[in-house]
Amino acid sequence: MKELRIMTVCGFGLGTSLVLKMTVDDVLQKNNIRANTFCSDADTAVGQRFDLVITSREMENLFKNVPQPVVVVDNFLSAEEVQEKAIPVILKMMEG
Amino acid sequence: MLDKYLTADMIQLKVEVEDWEGAVRAGGQLLYQAEKCTPGYIDAMVRTVNEMGPYMVLAPGLALAHARPEDGVNQVGLSLVTLKTPVNFGSAANDPVELVISFCAVDRESHVDVLKAMAFFLREEDNQRLLREAETVEEVLGAFRIQV
């Protein structure tokens, strides 16, 4: 099965997106999904190689012209929110 | 892990500030006083919010304020400020903010473990409540000490 490249994004790629990546990693593990997760900063994010973006409402606009799906999360500490918003998208991509 | 970084001098409770900038500066000031960063780093933290928006308000009531390693950092530092009166950062989802975690990093790696420990701690809503309601630094230090 193809391992997805999942990118979390914040301003500099070293604080906020790291917290989100932690939550995403935990949720993926709970769902027994293997994926490659990594952080990126706002300046270089669009040029990265990725299958899916998970980020905040403020950063969503960066990706308005990219074809990959963008999942917006409000509470970066909430495993429930990541589960609810990202996992259905990820499962669908893995089928495809 | 947390108690190694969040020592008593890095914690300030029930601080009175006028606005989000005051909240960010209060957190940055603790880093500066402990010689973790330069005064310029505090300005850069404020500039980051102005230029990039309030994305660092990453959970309800919680902001993670920081700038970049190249903005004047001496060593990895973490501070905690709780606000007497919550302030708005302009975050549609997570205003008003009552807890401000500030950090400075020297590179992309060396702060990762302490930030993870902090996120792990904050994930428990009881812990967030404890920080919000804490009246004394000792209460907070006690909670960090029992955190693995």
Residue B19 distance to chain A (closest CA, Å): 20
Which residues, other chains included, contact B5 with Cβ-Cβ below 8 Å and sequence gap of 6+? B76, B77, B78, B114
Q: Residue A40: what are its φ and ψ, rounded to 5°? A: -145, 160
Could you tell me the residue ranges of all domains in chain A?
Answer: 4-95
Number of CB atoms found within 10 A of residue B135's CB: 10
Q: Catalytic: B66? A: yes
Which residues, in sequence order, are bridge partners of residue B77?
B104
pLDDT band per the 50, 70, 90 thresholds, residue A1: low
| Residue A76 zone, left/alpha/beta (φ > 0; ψ -120 to 50; rest) | alpha
List CB contacts (< 8 A) between A75 and chain B. Answer: 58-60, 93-94
Question: Between chains, do A11 and B103 touch, taking CB under 8 Å as contact?
Answer: no
The top-level CATH class assigned to B2-146 is alpha beta
Question: Between chains, do A19 and B64 touch, taking CB under 8 Å as contact?
Answer: yes
Q: What is the pLDDT of residues A32-60, one digit of tens each?
A: 999 999 999 999 999 999 999 999 999 99
Q: What is the pTM of this model?
A: 0.95
Which residues, in sequence order, are bridge partners of residue B66?
B103
Residue A40 distance to chain B (closest CA, Å): 11
pLDDT score of B1 = 87
Q: Does domain A4-95 have CATH number 3.40.50.2300?
A: yes
CA–CA separation, B97 and B84 (whole Å): 10
